[in-house]
Amino acid sequence: MGELATAEAPPAAPADRSHYVFLSGALSGIVEGLSIQPLELLKTRFQINPGQPLQLLPTIRDVLREGGFLQFYRGGLPEIVGLIPRATAALSTLEFSQRELRRANGGVLSGAGGYLSGALSGVSEGLAFQPFQVIKVRLMAKEHLGRYRNSWDCLGRVLREEGPAALTAGLGPTMWRNTIWNAAYYGTMHQLSDAGGLLTPIENPVLAVARTIVVGTGVGMMATCFNAPFDVVKSRFQALLPEDRVARGYTSTLATLRRIYVEEGPRALYKGFVPKALRLGIGQTIGLLVFQNSIRFFGAEDASAA
């Protein structure tokens, strides 16, 4: 009898590691939230103040007098918890949309594709983060000090007194804010770091991370120039009770932009610019670094990106 030919087993399909992309997004949100929360509180205080622009050092002293250093983390629970779904939604959308756009373009992500994927990430980010932002702003607002005991009390009172729709307050300016900033930031970072971009690889990992943080902060400040007015409107919408929004004439995003411009001047649309720009530039860059290194650690990188 002849020897039976033994058929070789087909190679095993690579394991699907897509779920690690979502896990990496969650990890980046936690790290980002813990690192930038004090800047977030200062930014919010600046934006919701309708009078003369606040000064940085006096505001820091006021916060410390209110409750010491931990007061900088007032409203931090909904912010940090909210950053988990926010970062997961935004960075996962960014990653998967870049993969699809790269595949559709012969394995190369074009400059336009970089900006488009950034804008798409802003849409999912805004939807995921919106309810947490309302609670955060209410807790951070100086006029609401003593009104809410904690995050859960604030959530319960908002739902009982204003209804579930209150958690969507400011959704319009939130979408404007996020899509503009994410498109500008992630699109520009892609242009700078892509093959042939201005940022050539650095072998020293410490120097590479330091350069990314410096460049990312600069790009984040640039992007903030375009979306800051919408962030001011968002904070105003979310800080005020429904009847107070109506009394001030805050009826829609563009109408509120115009009202603030007319009543308080153009500078009012950029209240909180410095802490906001630092918060976004540093925070998003740290989050992006954590995300990229996490998916690399879990082996969830897109093969076509290599």
pLDDT tens for 32-88 read 888 888 888 888 888 888 777 788 888 899 989 988 888 888 777 777 777 788 888
- Answer yes or no: are the C-beta atoms of 30 and 82 closer than 8 Å: no
**Domains in the chain: boundaries:** 21-298
Report the Cα–Cα distance between both ends of the chain, in Å, rounded: 50
Predicted confidence at residue 11, as pLDDT, reads 46
DSSP 72: G
Percent of the chain with pLDDT over 90: 33
CA distances from 233 to 108, 228, 258 (A): 37, 9, 10
Total Cβ atoms within 10 A of residue 116: 18
pLDDT tens for 137-187 read 888 787 787 888 888 899 999 999 999 999 998 899 999 999 999 999 999
DSSP reduced 3-state for 68: coil
Stated as kind and residue range, the H or E segment containing 118 is helix 111-140
CATH 2.40.128.630 for domain 21-298, yes or no, is: no
Mean pLDDT for all residues in the chain: 85
Q: What is the mean pLDDT of residues 247-265?
A: 91
Instruction: State the chain's maximal CA–CA distance in angstroms.
Output: 98
CA distances from 137 to 168, 207, 215, 302 (A): 13, 36, 29, 37
Which residue in this structure is represented by tokens 């918060």? 279
Q: What is the mean pLDDT of residues 122-142?
A: 87
Q: Is 220 exposed, middle or buried (0-12, 13-18, 19+ CB in 10 A)?
A: buried
Predicted confidence at residue 103, as pLDDT, reads 93
State the pTM of this model: 0.76
pLDDT tens for 96-108 read 999 999 999 999 8
